[in-house]
Amino acid sequence: MEKDKKRVAMRVHGKVQGVFFRASTQEKAEELGLTGFVQNEPGGTVYLEAEGSPEALKQLEQWAYDGPRHAKVEKVEVEEKDSLEGFDGFEQRR
């Protein structure tokens, strides 16, 4: 693994679907220079994986606790992954 890059997975709980959370996450991740994806999950959560500098990932995590304006985030679970995926850009998945 490149020592200056990490990959994390986040699961965001609360009112996070139907409030432009995925689009806002993509915008924030691209602004921070991160790659990865974000998707809605059947249980009402949003799941994302992102790769990049530890500092940028921390900023994305801090942002996720608030999310976009109409979101009501209750909890963010963060898990550091062991290896990089080599994502090409940051995308929204269904």
Tally the C-alpha atoms within 13 A of residue 66's C-alpha that lie toward its C-beta.
7
**DSSP H or E run through 62:** helix 54-64
Q: Is 11 a catalytic residue?
A: no
In this predicted model, what pLDDT tens digit does every residue of 9-50 receive, in sequence order? 999 999 999 999 999 999 999 999 999 999 999 999 999 999
Q: Spell out the domain ranges in the chain.
A: 16-82
What is the structure's pLDDT at 42?
96
In this predicted model, what pLDDT tens digit does every residue of 75-91 receive, in sequence order? 999 999 999 999 999 99
Q: Answer whether 0.85 is exceeded by the pTM.
A: yes
Q: Do residues 35 and 88 touch, judged by C-beta distance below 8 A?
A: yes
Q: Are strands 35-40 and 90-93 parallel, antiparallel or unpaired?
A: parallel
Report helix angle 21-31 to 54-64, nearest 10: 150
Measured in whole angstroms, the distance separating CA 91 from the mean position of its chain's CA atoms is 10
Which of 22, 69, 93, 94 is an active site residue? Answer: 22
Candidate CATH numbers 3.30.70.100, 3.40.605.10, 1.10.15.40, 3.40.50.300; the one for domain 16-82: 3.30.70.100
In sequence order, which residues have a C-beta less than 8 Å from that of residue 91 and are 6 or more positions away?
Answer: 26, 36, 37, 38
Q: Is 22 a catalytic residue?
A: yes
Which of 7, 40, 69, 94 is an active site residue? Answer: 40
